[in-house]
A and B are shown apart, each in its own frame.
Chain A
Amino acid sequence: MSILASAKKQDISAYTTKEDSCPQCQRMRYFNERMMLLVGPCYHRMCELCLDNTFSAGPAPCPECQRILRKNEFYQPIFEDLTVEREVRVRARMAAAYNKRQEDFKSLKDYNDYLEMVEDLTMKLLYEEDIDQTDSIIEKYKRENNAQIERNMSKRQREEKIQRMVLDQEKNKKQQLREEYLRQLEDEKREKVEAKNNIINALATSDKSAKEILKARAVQLKKSSLSNRNAGRKAQLELEALLKSATEGFYDDDDDIDIEEIDDGPFDPAESPYEPVVVKLREKYDDPTPAFRQGNLAAAGVTREMHQRYLIEGAMAGLFEPPFSDSAKSPSNMDTSAS
């Protein structure tokens, strides 16, 4: 399977940053998180909207390089750097055509020569040297070796299938172990309840002494739990080992959030070391301030009420404060906020 196909399968999403922007319309991802930047075969980026606009009437030239493109040739790149994207795609194409294996060659030298040849062709494609010629070489090779390419491809698919099956099996086993464990817990619980009911029944109906019944019961319980435990033990251990390996090292003991101090009663978010300033304004003042006639003050949030409050508070600031006594030597203790 090619890298790209496997990336798709594993749902690896494209690399994006908040700074992305479409080179055509300059729209930024900062303001539209779902913006998709797509690239065509010439590796020039374009956002979805631009794509729709440009190719609404069929094939059109790329706005960057004028190469004629179709809308369906565009896709979302996986890599941020388009040279990397291109290299990965070129290599994927080469790997699909040149898929011979070492066992197809007589000697190691032959195989290495073949690899060298493939790498030469790849470099030519990547650096865009004699593209047409290289393309024709590849096509020719494909035609001539069609049978073998197909054979190797199916071989490879088979191998991958087996690999997937092994992985699936492991997964299933884990799942089974877990179910088994849960079932045992359930059984144990049910047995306990049953046993309890049995004792109560026995005590109520039989004519043996209570002591005897309890003793017999204890022996029975010991037996059953022993056998149970032995059977369950192994599965449980396996499961625990699995769980442990999955979570190991993920938690840091000293990073525990302490839950104790979450709440210690109501508090006042607006708490202040000062008494609130209480100044009552009259309903209306005779205020001739001409600035208010222009109207641009209101747009900046400056109101008559605020202006009047400022003047009145200023006039009354400190009026009701007692004068400094000798004990308050430092003027830095002065509280100028109260009025």
Chain B
Amino acid sequence: MTTPKAVFGEDINKETESLYKKQRKLGEGTYAVVYQGQHIKTGRTVAIKKIKIGNMRSGLDMSAIREVKALQELRHPNVIELVDVFSHKTNLNLVLEFLDTDLEIVIKDKSLFFMPADIKSWMMMALRGLDHCHKCWLLHRDLKPNNLLIASDGQLKLADFGLAREFGDVKRAMTSQTVTRWYRAPELLLGASNYTGAIDIWAMGCIFAELLLRTPYLPGESDIDQLTVIFKARGTPTEDDWPGMSKLPAVFKFDKHPRPQFSDLFRGSSEDAVGLMNQMLSFNPSSRVSAADALNHPYFTNLPRPTKPAKLPRPKKEEEEAADIDSTSGARKRQLHDAFSEDGDVFGGKAINTADGPAAPKRMDMRISSPA
């Protein structure tokens, strides 16, 4: 990481720190602040994640250790790169690859239209990254669109390894309180104390569905509600679907929901896409596909070919947006967008949707003015 002149740890640390300069704040999370920075010599833009440990009573935050530990193991085009680590006073700084947007922003940007090939490309990149993690016996444990970052060349990369940990050892219990609720696998919701890469695949299946639907697929409002939503959307599993299910710690008596016709909800999607998604959202973790098998599913080799990363849709930057308002094509696109967006405005400018709140009937002035 440094030229090996310095001998003592402090010197190495100081040298590393002097390689980078912080430029501007990008965002702040619960346990870290992220800055945009630059490698002074090469000019490479980086993200510097400053972990606040000054106010941490019990030493370094667990997720910081997890993140460093996981990222040091991983080097893959579809996993965020940990460039350097240094400390400054009582803060730990992770120097990470700079990535400008994430999949959540892309999904929410309703001015972007997704082609089936685009979704295929994102899924392929995400699964390649995940396959690498699983080959290294690492679980990500917090997959969601927000944590799939997108580089300026369109490459999608797994990020935020704050909850990542090693798996495979059955002797060490693992917590089932992990993964953002909407993407949490059923075995976690039922309190499994040991699990496998299948939990990441479930989350990936939810992301796949979210890409197809442009809205979260299983939005539970609480942990119990999450199970209900899953069962409503996927049908309540039986002991045949999921052998051993009743032995999981938190199993209770579920309401029976029939398995709905998936092709109804995913009407616009191809059969192989829905097929792969169903395999990724299988209740039984043992029959859920692995990342490697998912990549070998015919969905990825069938036409259309996945879009080249550089050609994937991406949100416009602010400057581009401003320039676009002047040009007529931008106005045209906006019009089209308005006409097709779900928010109404379909009836020639007069929205039939009155979602802004109940409109009290207003007295109309019907009188006709006399001709001048």
- Taking Cβ atoms with an 8 Å cutoff, the residues of A that contact B are 12, 15, 17-18, 28, 30-33, 78-81, 83-84, 86-87, 102, 108, 111-112, 115-116, 118-119, 123, 126-127, 249, 252, 254, 261-264, 266-267, 269-274, 277, 289, 291-292, 294-303, 306-307, 309-311, 313-314, 329-332, 335-337
Contact = CB atoms under 8 A, between A and B. Distances in A.
A176 B76 CA distance: 64
A15 B353 contact: yes
Contact of B168 (A30, A115, A306): A306
Contacts of A28: 232
Given A79-B352, A269-B300, A300-B195, A87 B361 contact: yes
B352 A15 contact: yes
Contacts of A249: 332
Contacts of A294: 247
Nearest to B81: A332
Interface string B14-36: 00000000000000000000000
A126 B249 contact: no
The range of chain B's interface size is 35 or more
Given A252-B329, A263-B305, A337-B132, A289 B170 contact: yes
B143 to A, nearest CB: 16
B341 interface: no
Contacts of B329: 252, 254
B366 A269 contact: no
Contacts of B360: 83
13 contacts: A84-B359, A112-B367, A270-B131, A270-B295, A272-B128, A295-B244, A295-B247, A298-B244, A300-B248, A301-B198, A302-B195, A310-B168, A314-B137
B301 A289 contact: no
A291 B76 contact: no
Contact of A302 (B1, B196, B247, B344): B196
B336 to A, nearest CB: 9
B105 interface: no
Contacts of A78: 352
A336 B194 contact: no
Interface stretch (B38-46, B152-160, B285-293, B313-321): B285-293
Given A31-B233, A302-B196, A337-B132, A80 B169 contact: no
A313 B363 contact: no
Interface residue SS majority, chain B: loop
B285 A310 contact: no
Given A112-B367, A292-B170, A302 B194 contact: yes
Interface in B228-266: 232-233, 242-245, 247-249, 260, 264-265
A269 B124 contact: yes
B58 interface: no
Given A299-B243, A337-B132, A252 B333 contact: yes
Given A31-B232, A31-B260, A301 B195 contact: yes
Nearest to B342: A17
B203 to A, nearest CB: 14
Contacts of A299: 187, 192, 242-245, 247-248, 285
A337 B352 contact: no
Interface of B: 1, 4, 73-77, 82-83, 124, 128, 131-132, 135-137, 167-171, 187, 192-196, 198, 215, 232-233, 242-245, 247-249, 260, 264-265, 284-286, 288, 292, 295-296, 300-301, 303-306, 308, 311, 329, 332-333, 342, 344, 347, 352-355, 358-361, 363-364, 366-368, 370
B368 A108 contact: yes
B1 A80 contact: no
Contacts of B288: 301
Contacts of A111: 368
B171 A262 contact: no
A102 B368 CA distance: 9
Contacts of A264: 305
B250 to A, nearest CB: 11
Contact of A83 (B74, B128, B342, B358): B358
A116 B367 contact: yes
A332 B75 contact: yes
Contacts of A311: 168-169
Nearest to B83: A332
Nearest to B299: A269
Given A116-B367, A249-B332, A310-B168, A301 B285 contact: yes
B367 A18 contact: no
Contact of A81 (B124, B301, B359): B359
A303 B367 contact: no
Q: Which 6 A-B pairs have the closest CB atoms?
A: A301-B285, A310-B168, A299-B244, A269-B300, A300-B192, A270-B295
A266 B302 CA distance: 10
A299 B342 CA distance: 41
A239 to B, nearest CB: 26
Nearest to A113: B367
Contacts of B192: 296, 299-300
Contacts of B198: 301
